[in-house]
Amino acid sequence: WLAFIFLVHAFSGEPAQASNEGPLQWVDIDKITSLPIWEGDRYFLPLVFDDDPRPFHGFLPYDHDRPLGWSYTRI
């Protein structure tokens, strides 16, 4: 599958209360990896929140819900 990730620095309005994946809540960045997230999310989340403003293109193949590897390029 293909995913797009967006980092938002400001928000106005009311966030949705729930999604198909469960209830939504604000979480401090340093607490994200303590949540029950997909194993593969741990590979790319540091790139989302680091100080490098460039977007990245990553490849994270899975087999039976387990990551097989991770590679990325800053673009």
Taking only the tens place, the pLDDT of each residue in 45-69 is 999 999 999 999 999 999 998 999 9
Q: In this structure, are residues 15 and 8 in contact, taking their beta carbons and an 8 Å threshold? A: no
Mention every residue, 6+ apart, whose C-beta is less than 8 A from residue 57: 72, 73, 75
pLDDT higher for 10 or 1? 10
Taking only the tens place, the pLDDT of each residue in 3-53 is 999 998 898 998 888 888 888 888 999 999 999 899 999 999 999 999 999
Q: Is the pTM of this model over 0.85?
A: no
State the Cα–Cα distance between residues 50 and 69, nearest whole angstrom. 21
In this prediction, residue 1 carries a pLDDT of 80
In this prediction, residue 44 carries a pLDDT of 96
